[in-house]
Amino acid sequence: MTVERYIRIIAGLFILVSLALGVEGSPVFVSKWALAFTAFVGANLFQFGFTNVCPLGFILKKLGVPESKLPCGA
């Protein structure tokens, strides 16, 4: 797997977990403030789309995860 794929998987997981922790009807509800983490992840994904700079991407590259060599959609 590549850096971009890990970013998508981890961001999706963080969003699902923070929604489970922040929605009052959830059996694992903690606080509505958990939804702030959802907004933080969304904002990071938004700026990553424009700047192609992602803190998680830097960490994954340092850990030796390969970058994609194929253009998007290939």
Question: Do the Cβ atoms of 3 and 60 come closer than 8 Å?
Answer: yes
- What is the model's pLDDT at position 73? 56
Angstrom distances, CA of residue 65 to CA of 2, 27, 32, 39: 6, 35, 34, 26
What residues have CB less than 8 Å from 1, skipping those under 6 apart?
A: 65
What residues have CB less than 8 Å from 30, skipping those under 6 apart?
A: 21, 22
- What is the model's pLDDT at position 51? 93
H helices of the chain, in order, are: 3-22, 35-51, 55-62
Per-residue pLDDT of the chain (74 residues; tens, 9 = 90+): 999 999 999 999 999 999 999 999 999 999 999 999 999 999 999 999 999 899 999 999 999 999 987 665 55
- What is the model's pLDDT at position 68? 81
pTM of the model: 0.83
- What is the model's pLDDT at position 69? 77
